[in-house]
Amino acid sequence: MLLNTLTPQQTELMHQVRDQWLAKIFTKRKIIDRQAATDGINELYKLANLAKPMIIFADSPLAAQYAVNILDNRDNAQVRDQVYDQVKAQVRDQVKAQVRDQVRDQVLEQVYLQVRDQVNKQVYAQVYEQVDNQAKNKFYSFGWYGRIDDFGWVACAEFYTQIGIVKSLEFVEFKKLLESGIYNTIQLKGLCVVSSLPATLIRDNQNRLHSDEHAAIGWSDGYEQYYLHGVYFERELWQKIVNKELSFKDAMAIENIAQRMLALKYLDADVLLTEANAELLSQTTKGNQLWVIKKLFNQNAYFLRYVCPSTSQVYISGVDPEVGKEAANKQNADIAMAWKHNMSLEQYNYIRIET
């Protein structure tokens, strides 16, 4: 029988399953269950018609790269495509066939996309790129299946399993591998290197890797990566930015645009305006100031300087050029502040106390 709508209980369960899978990486820190991981890897290789491999456990994805470079005898060809084909055919496609069109769009939106975006886009893909850059010898691609970015589709399948639509022993066995605490795997013929989940993982309110106090993500062996609002930084540059040791000139010399903009954001507001030779255009009774920096970018850059009423801390924010022009022409920095808060000027003026 085709399921067209979810009951309130099923909807609640769907959200519970989603949150449980997100918690496996974001809130529940645990040591990898090596026996469960070993059993899962052996099942993975069995599914791909491959002999049981020697399994090596590494504490981080970079350590996994070092380990495989030491242990690989050059005859151990990567078998990740072979594993991919069999897992897709015997597990994922089987799940997909059983689900068919049963409220699939709702579950995909509420479970798959939300888990995928938080785990894969915000964590796995970012870390993967940096490990690739930092591996000093030959880089071995991680497996297609048997890593944390499986969490999205597995969370969907788990929900369908719990409501009785998906019935697959192969899926149950595959799920156990992910639940063992693995982060990713390097799959070779006769050898599989397994990396554990990170010991530290900190994000901002938009679920991007972020910390201005210490590494945003780190593993038990000491391997760390530094991020500010989802943008990666080498440790030395990150330290200079968060400790406010960069001058405006140093910040502007950063080649990466995303890094440069964040470095400017961390500069002391008045230092930024002074060193950039900014010109004050407007100051209102509410303490808002509109500044412009000319001849530095390809067009005039407008900035709003304001003081937080609750902390008395000074902030500076970039302003949309069109909004900046309007505020400059009308000699009213409050226009920029209203824009910042997604308000009309009339709505902003109605506010007596800003919080």
330 in a structural domain: yes
pLDDT at 297 over 80: no
Q: What is the pLDDT of residue 296?
A: 73
Same domain? 130 vs 262: no
Task: Give me the pLDDT at residue 318, please.
Answer: 84
Measured between alpha carbons, how far is 186 from 46 in angstroms, rounded to an integer?
Answer: 16
Residue 138 is assigned to a structural domain of this protein: yes
The two tokens of residue 120 are: 């894969």
DSSP H helices in the chain: 8-26, 34-47, 61-71, 80-87, 93-99, 104-107, 113-116, 125-134, 151-162, 169-179, 235-242, 248-252, 257-266, 269-275, 321-329, 334-340, 345-350
| Average pLDDT rounded to a whole number, residues 2-8 | 83
Question: Average pLDDT for residues 303-327, to the nearest whole number?
Answer: 89
pLDDT of residue 74: 57
Give the residue numbers spanning the domain of 57. Answer: 8-197
Query: pLDDT-based confidence at 75, cuts 50/70/90?
Result: low
Token pair 């060193």 in the structure block, residue: 275
With 0-12 / 13-18 / 19 or more C-beta atoms within 10 angstroms meaning exposed / middle / buried, residue 71 is middle
3-state per-residue secondary structure call for 10-23: HHHHHHHHHHHHHH
Can you read off the two tokens belonging to residue 25?
Answer: 């990486």
| Residue 168: strand, helix, or coil | coil
- Assigned domain for 355 exists: no
179 and 32 co-located in one domain: yes
Per DSSP, the three-state class of 181 is coil
**Tokens representing 130?**
């940096």
Strand partners, 306: 315
Residues 282, 310 share a domain: yes
**Residue 189 covered by a domain:** yes
Q: Looking at the structure, do residues 55 and 30 belong to the same domain, yes or no?
A: yes
What pLDDT sits at residue 73?
A: 60
Q: In this predicted structure, what is the pLDDT of residue 352?
A: 59
Distance CA 71, CA 280 (A): 63
| 257-283: average pLDDT | 88
pLDDT interval class at 1 (50, 70, 90): low
Query: Length of the chain, please?
Result: 355
Domain end residue (candidates: 266, 281, 303): 266
What rounded mean pLDDT belongs to the chain? 90
Whether the CB-CB separation of 51 and 19 falls below 8 Å is answered with no
Q: What is the pLDDT of residue 295?
A: 77
Mean pLDDT confidence for 277-281: 93
Residue 158 one-letter amino acid: E
Same domain assignment for residues 186 and 206: no
Q: Do residues 84 and 120 share a domain?
A: yes
Q: What is the pLDDT of residue 298?
A: 77
Residue at 55: amino acid letter:
I
Boundary (domain end) residue, out of 248, 266, 284? 266
Is 291 found in the same domain as 242?
Answer: no
Which of the four pLDDT bands, split at 50, 70 and 90, describes residue 308? confident
Q: Which of 266, 283, 298 represents a domain boundary (last residue)?
A: 266
Do 155 and 211 belong to one domain? no
Q: Are residues 157 and 189 in the same domain?
A: yes
Burial class (CB within 10 angstroms; exposed 0-12, middle 13-18, buried 19+) of 146:
buried
Share of the chain above pLDDT 90, in %: 68
Higher pLDDT, 294 or 296: 294
Are residues 298 and 247 part of one domain?
no
- In this structure, the answer to whether residues 58 and 147 fall within a common structural domain is yes
- Between CA 337 and CA 324 the distance in angstroms is 10
CA angle, 293 then 298 then 302, to 5°: 30
Triad 2, 7, 13: Cα angle to 5°: 105
Q: Examine the domain organization and report whether 51 and 184 are in the same domain.
A: yes
Let me know if residue 181 belongs to a domain: yes
| Position 301 in a domain | yes
pLDDT-wise least confident of 33-37, 105-109, 203-207, 322-326: 105-109
Residue 268: what pLDDT?
83
Rounded to an integer, what distance in angstroms lies between the CA atom of residue 39 and that of residue 180? 10
**Structural domain contains residue 282:** yes
